[in-house]
Amino acid sequence: MRSRLRYSLGPILLLVLLGGLLALAARSPFRPLRTAAGRILSPLESIVSDWRSLGTLRQQNSELRYLATELALENFYLKEYRYENRRLRRLIGFLRETPYRLLPARVETRSATRSAEVWKIDKG
């Protein structure tokens, strides 16, 4: 029974001892020195922290710029697809409404300039 009491008192005595040390540290004669050092070192610590976050922000900014470029390119392609879709829908409407008999053909070549459109068509 006595050994059990000794083992259970050990952690309690340790906690009381640590509490006493904390109380003494609060009333220490070096407290003004610690406070002054804290006031001097706190801004320096803040500067170092800001410097680290600046590097992180630069990296994030670079990644976001790359993503913005990719999204702008994707937006450009989507606008091109929309234009092509509208053009094809107009052609489908033309095919339904025309009174003429049409033959399927493939455009082989066409001119590079828009001023004089020349097309070479393969009918078959």
- pLDDT tens for 5-50 read 556 777 777 777 777 766 666 666 666 666 776 777 777 777 778 8
Q: What is the pTM of this model?
A: 0.42
pLDDT at 23: 67
**Helix (H) or strand (E) segment spanning residue 96:** helix 31-97
Tokens 């922000």 belong to: 57
pLDDT in tens, 70-83: 999 999 999 999 99
